[in-house]
């Protein structure tokens, strides 16, 4: 059902109304001059065909901007922000936000700010008023955003079930498994802040039950599901769930054909499938995830600027002197390189300029740190900026660090645009846009040491909290790791001989401290016909542990630049034969 938001601005004129009978908006033309926004023209799409809407106002000398929305790629208009000046009676500025990006501010930041937006709906038409052939107010029609439905993966055996898509997200997943595969699955959802318990799909038998929780209060959402399906039995064998912040363990056995439920840039809000005595297949409903805009940090004077949102950022250039940041320039990417510059454009002898270049398209900015200082009435300026990337790299410090510190960061997201204020000579304030990015897959570094022993793998976690390393007569006899996952403590299995001669404990200041490297030695020792680990030593971002064991013929190093260790795997007998690690980037 369509919903109409009343027009913002003056109603002292003639009305126009394009209605809501469209699939979406495809193009908007905006024209204006010193008085503000005076002209708008709309194009819509319906059943795949373009449809021309109202031409409101008339073109004047001044600016004309165009904002296109790619409905072929399922892009839709979510909201409009603007500024209306009561004194002049004209809209002064407009900015358009889709499910993928945000336009620049078209016009001026002058007057009272307004927003046309309905959560969970898209704009399907515009209406408003015009006077003397100029637009004087703007309103919008909204219709529901229909979720996309991904067909089931697996077989069609059993009974069909469908939890529907009338949810805001998934909050908890219950999985029961046994020797034949996944026995049942159950989902908890959230709608308008209230949790909803879904039904059980399948039947409980002997086996294991595991749960995976998703903290929607922290903007966490489910982005995709991986699994394995066995053709012979017709049963799903294993499932793994990934949110924008973390990844679950593999629940079940990695046996059969691998499948994936994913829709780029969207989140899962519901499930459907087939089940009988076991879970036979699984499908999902997806909807778009909105972009996030941070507040600006710094002063409130100067000229407002807003670059909007882009596919990525390629390079940042910052010029500064001994007092503050003078200007900032971004090279964005949207099918081509687009430059935006803010602040003082002339480089003087006492002004330095440095750059931070990213490895496009594999590297993104995830974190910005800076300072700002008030130098007097109406003169607050940004004094320093530092950028960090998804690859663990940090830019030089641009400027001088003094004043009030601020941070631009949203966990699990990449920076995709900036906004702020500047005057003719300085950068006054800065804020950022964030877009969700899928969590990185942990990389498994090859184990080092002997080839014998029983294989084990603790899996992947957020980090390591504590290690217990036991020494025997002839080498490292025991290893046990305590991990962190969200706010929980996860105790790993015992590996090796649980009754060694001596056990050393190494506790980390989790989560600020993390292991960056493990070095050690391995060799054939007395009483063993195969190679075993003889020494282990752990290095963190703050210190190095004392070695446990003794040095021997062959040494090794488990390390990847810019990454932290988040899990261990290896082989063991009555000694530790072999050791490897799982790693993730520092920024995760």
φ/ψ (deg, to 5) at 216:
-70, -20
Q: What is the pLDDT of residue 65?
A: 92
How do residues 419-448 score in pLDDT, each as one tens digit?
999 998 899 999 999 988 766 678 899 999
The answer to whether the beta carbons of residues 14 and 56 sit under 8 Å apart is no
Cis before 455 (ω within 30): no
Q: Extract the tokens encoding 390.
A: 């998804």
**What is the share, in percent, of the chain residues with pLDDT greater than 90?**
64
pLDDT band per the 50, 70, 90 thresholds, residue 588: low
Q: In degrees to the nearest 10, what's the CA dihedral of 509, 510, 515, 520?
A: 60
Whether 391 shows a pLDDT value over 70: the answer reads yes
Percent of the chain exceeding pLDDT 70 equals: 98
Residue 196 has pLDDT above 70, yes or no: yes
* Six token digits for residue 423: 């005057």
From first CA to last CA, the distance across the chain in angstroms is 41
pLDDT the model gives residue 258: 85
The token pair that represents 322 in the structure block: 């001994």
**Class at the top of the CATH hierarchy for domain 148-288:** mainly beta
Question: In whole angstroms, what is the distance from residue 471 CA to residue 477 CA?
Answer: 5
By mean pLDDT, which of 178-192, 340-354, 384-398, 523-537 is the weakest? 340-354
Alpha-carbon gap, residue 18 to 323, rounded angstroms: 53
CA dist., res. 145 & res. 336, Å (int) = 30
> Would you state the structure tokens that stand for residue 37, as one six-digit string?
């926004």
Structure tokens at 196: 């909803």
Confidence of residue 483 (pLDDT cuts 50, 70, 90): very high
Residue ranges of domains in the chain = 1-144, 148-288, 290-439, 443-585
What local confidence, expressed as pLDDT, does residue 443 receive?
87
Contact status, residue 534 vs residue 521, Cβ threshold 8 Å: yes
Looking at residues 370-380, what average pLDDT do you find?
94
Q: In this structure, what are the phi and psi dihedrals at residue 297, rounded to the nearest 5 degrees?
A: -115, 130
Secondary structure letter of residue 71 according to DSSP? G
pLDDT in tens, 231-243: 889 999 999 999 9
Neighbours of 511 (CB within 10 A): 12
In terms of CATH architecture, what is 290-439? Aligned Prism (2.100)
Residue 269 near residue 168, CB atoms below 8 Å: yes
Token pair in block for residue 13 = 């004129």
Residue 485 has pLDDT above 80, yes or no: no
Task: State the pLDDT confidence band at 131, using cuts at 50, 70 and 90.
Answer: confident
pLDDT at res. 30: 95
- Environment class of 411 (CB within 10 Å of its CB; exposed 0-12, middle 13-18, buried 19+): middle
110 by DSSP, 3-state: which? coil
Residue with tokens 């003889």: 534
Six token digits for residue 280? 């036979």
Query: 578 is written with which tokens?
Result: 């072999």
The rounded mean pLDDT for the chain is: 91
Sign of CA dihedral 483, 484, 485, 490: positive
What would the mean pLDDT of 411-419 be, rounded to a whole number?
90
> How many Cβ atoms are within 10 Å of 64's Cβ, its own excluded?
13
pLDDT, residue 263, reads: 84
Q: What is the pLDDT of residue 346?
A: 64
User: What are the E-state strand segments in 410-544?
Assistant: 413-422, 427-436, 443-449, 454-457, 463-471, 476-485, 488-491, 495-496, 502-507, 515-524, 531-540
What CATH code would you report for 1-144?
A: 2.100.10.30
Residue 529 has pLDDT above 80, yes or no: no
Residue range 35-90, pLDDT digits in tens: 899 999 999 999 989 999 988 887 777 889 999 998 888 889 999 999 999 998 99
Identify which has the larger pLDDT, 527 or 329. Answer: 329
pLDDT at 499 over 80: no
Quick one: pLDDT band at residue 165, thresholds 50, 70, 90? very high
Q: Position of tokens 């001026």?
A: 108
Please give the CATH topology (third level) of the domain spanning 443-585.
Answer: Vitelline Membrane Outer Layer Protein I, subunit A (2.100.10)
Q: Please determine whether the domains at 148-288 and 443-585 fall in the same fold group of CATH.
A: yes
Q: What is the band of 486 on the pLDDT scale with cuts at 50, 70, 90? A: low
In angstroms, the CA 303 to CA 544 distance is 50
Please name which of 268, 414, 242 lies closest in space to residue 333, comparing C-alpha atoms: 414
- Write down the pLDDT at residue 348: 66
The Cα–Cα gap between 550 and 533 comes to 9
Residue 392: per-residue pLDDT: 84
| Each residue's pLDDT tens digit, 272-321 | 999 999 999 999 999 988 788 899 999 999 989 999 889 889 999 999 99
């Amino acid at each position: 059902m369509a919903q109409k938001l009343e027009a913002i601005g003056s109603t002292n004129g003639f009305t126009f109304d394009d209605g809501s009978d469209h699939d979406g908006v495809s193009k908007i033309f905006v024209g204006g001059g010193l008085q503000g926004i005076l002209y708008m023209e709309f194009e819509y799409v319906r059943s795949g065909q373009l449809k021309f809407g109202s031409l409101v106002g008339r073109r004047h000398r001044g600016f004309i901007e165009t904002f296109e929305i790619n409905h072929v790629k399922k892009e839709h208009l979510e909201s409009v922000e603007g500024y209306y000046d009561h004194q002049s009676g004209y809209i002064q500025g407009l900015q358009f936000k889709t499910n993928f990006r945000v336009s620049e501010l078209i016009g001026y930041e002058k007057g009272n700010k307004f927003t046309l937006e309905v959560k969970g709906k898209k704009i399907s038409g515009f209406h408003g008023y015009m006077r003397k052939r100029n637009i004087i107010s703007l309103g919008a029609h909204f219709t529901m955003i229909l979720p996309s439905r991904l067909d089931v993966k697996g077989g069609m055996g059993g009974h069909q079930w469908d939890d529907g898509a009338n949810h805001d997200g998934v909050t908890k997943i219950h999985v029961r498994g046994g020797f034949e595969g996944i026995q049942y699955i159950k989902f908890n959802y959230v709608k308008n802040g209230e949790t909803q318990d879904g039904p059980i799909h399948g039947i409980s038998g002997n086996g294991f039950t595991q749960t995976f929780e998703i903290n929607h209060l922290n903007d966490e959402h489910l982005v995709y599901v991986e699994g394995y399906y066995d053709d012979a039995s017709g049963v799903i064998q294993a499932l793994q769930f990934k949110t924008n912040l973390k990844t679950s363990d593999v629940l079940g056995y990695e046996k059969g054909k691998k499948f994936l439920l994913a829709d780029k840039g969207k989140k899962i809000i519901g499930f459907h499938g087939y089940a009988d005595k076991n879970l036979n297949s699984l499908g999902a409903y997806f909807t778009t995830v909105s972009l996030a805009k941070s507040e600006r940090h710094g002063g409130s004077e100067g000229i407002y600027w807003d670059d909007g949102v882009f596919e990525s950022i390629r390079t940042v250039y910052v010029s500064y002197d001994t007092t503050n940041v003078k200007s900032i320039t971004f090279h964005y990417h949207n099918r081509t390189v687009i430059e935006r510059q803010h602040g003082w454009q002339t480089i003087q002898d006492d002004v330095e300029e440095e750059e931070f270049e990213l490895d496009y398209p594999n590297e993104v900015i995830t974190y910005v740190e800076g300072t700002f200082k008030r130098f007097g009435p109406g003169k607050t300026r940004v004094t320093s900026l530092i950028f960090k990337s998804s690859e663990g790299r940090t830019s030089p410090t641009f400027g001088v660090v003094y004043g009030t510190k601020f941070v631009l960061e949203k966990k699990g997201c990449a920076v995709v645009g900036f906004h702020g204020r500047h005057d003719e000579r300085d950068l006054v304030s800065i804020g950022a846009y964030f877009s969700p990015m899928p969590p990185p897959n942990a990389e498994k570094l090859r184990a080092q040491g002997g080839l014998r022993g029983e294989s084990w793998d603790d899996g992947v976690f957020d980090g390591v909290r504590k290690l217990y390393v036991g020494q025997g007569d002839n080498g490292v006899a025991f290893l046990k790791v305590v991990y962190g996952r969200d706010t929980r403590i996860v105790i790993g299995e015992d590996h090796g001989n649980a009754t060694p001669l001596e056990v050393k404990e190494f506790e980390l200041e989790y989560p600020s401290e993390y292991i960056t490297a493990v070095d050690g030695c391995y060799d054939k020792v007395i009483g063993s016909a195969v190679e075993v680990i003889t020494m282990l030593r752990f290095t963190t971002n703050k210190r190095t542990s004392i070695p446990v064991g003794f040095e021997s013929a062959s040494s090794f190093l488990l390390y990847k630049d810019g990454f932290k260790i988040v899990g261990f795997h290896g082989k063991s007998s009555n000694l530790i034969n072999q050791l490897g690690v799982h790693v993730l980037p520092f920024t995760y």
